[in-house]
Every structure is written in C-alpha cells, then in structure tokens.
Amino acid sequence: MNEEWGPLAGLIGEWEGEGGVDHAFKHSAEVVFDTTYREKCTMKPFGPVDNGTQSLYGLDYKSAMWRDDEENPFHTEVGYWLWDAATGEVMKGFVVPRGIVVLAGTFTTADAKVFTLKAALGDSKYAIGENDYLAANASSTSYEVTITVGDGTFGYDQTTWLNMKEFAEPFPHTDHHSLTRVAE
C-alpha cells in the first residue's frame, strides 16, 4: 500500500504526541534548558512531481509544538518530504519561522524503517539558509535527524549544531519525540 512513497509511506497521516523533549539555550532565563512539549503533525501524500526525468512522491508536512496548555505553539515547521524511487534519495525540506530554511537529505531503500538525513551550512546540495541576525548570533551549522517508523508510530531524534555567541564551543540543540497516528 502507498508503495510510491517508499520509506515515507509509514509517515502518512495525522500524528500526536505528548512526550517531546527539546534541549536549547533559553534566553529569558539565560540557562540551558530541557523543555517537554506536545506536538501535532500532519503529512499528506501528493505526487508525482516531475523534474525532467526525475519523478518524486512527497508529503505535505506541517508540525506544531506546545508547552503545557499554552495557546500558541512555541515551535512550528512547514515543508515537504520527498522520495525519488529511482535513486533512493529521500529529502526533508522545511522552514523554521525564525528565518531558517533547511533541505536535508540522504539515500536509503524503499523498505527502510530507520534513516538519517543531514544538512549543513554551505553544503552544495543539503544546505541550511538563515537570516542575517542568526548568522551573527546563533548560526545553524549542521542539522541531522534520524527517523524511526513503527506500526502506527514514528519517532525522530535530531540535533542542530549552533554557533552561539553565548558559548565558545558549538552547542547541540536537540529534539526527540515519538508520535502516534490519530488519523489516516
């Protein structure tokens, strides 16, 4: 079923979870802090999209995260997941509304249940773009996410390495979560 989407087939649907953990520098308190969050995510299939001889199948992706009972999400992502069956290339292209865009990618197999995508600042293919302020103060130098697809569940484990003016060494900004499918 949904074999055109290869390893992305297991991500199709609407998802929710309550046990996300974010590790970041919290400016309001000037401390490194682990924030627990809940999340709602939708991934809607589309395709094919053809680039010349290349044929891609994708997922229209939206995700939002909240702390406790707050009304507005403190983090959101919108973008597309893409799969090229001919080459095994899988991509996650998304925007973080801090002024950051990412195209992360890798090569894997159609039946893969665990895969890791990467992007880096200045990479010629899988790159990160960021605004002028962030480039000077909190630059995202690399991004890596491992996806684990289960039966009605999926999880992510991701690290964004930041060059922050508050730290002499690169800072690992991490997020991990396991979500459950609540609708097809």
Distances (CA, A) of 23 to 19, 36, 68, 120: 13, 9, 16, 20
Q: Which is nearer to ligand HEM, 30 or 151 (CB)?
A: 30
Measured distance CA(103)–CA(156) in Å, rounded: 16
Q: Which is nearer to ligand HEM, 34 or 60 (CB)?
A: 34
Measured distance CA(151)–CA(13) in Å, rounded: 12
Q: Which is nearer to ligand HEM, 3 or 33 (CB)?
A: 33
| Nearest distance in Å: CB 132, ligand HEM | 13
Measured distance CA(117)–CA(164) in Å, rounded: 23
Class of residue 15 by CB neighbours under 10 A (exposed 0-12, middle 13-18, buried 19+) = buried
| Nearest distance in Å: CB 116, ligand HEM | 14
Binding region for ligand HEM (CB under 6 A): 22, 24, 26-28, 35, 37, 65, 74-75, 96, 98, 100, 102, 134, 138, 140, 143, 160, 162, 164, 173, 175
| Nearest distance in Å: CB 20, ligand HEM | 6
| Nearest distance in Å: CB 28, ligand HEM | 6
| Nearest distance in Å: CB 85, ligand HEM | 27
Q: What is the dihedral of CA 35, 69, 97, 104, to 10 degrees?
A: 50
Measured distance CA(105)–CA(118) in Å, rounded: 6
Q: Which two tokens stand for residue 179?
A: 């979500």
Q: Which is nearer to ligand HEM, 59 or 65 (CB)?
A: 65
Measured distance CA(33)–CA(88) in Å, rounded: 37
Q: Which is nearer to ligand HEM, 32 or 112 (CB)?
A: 32
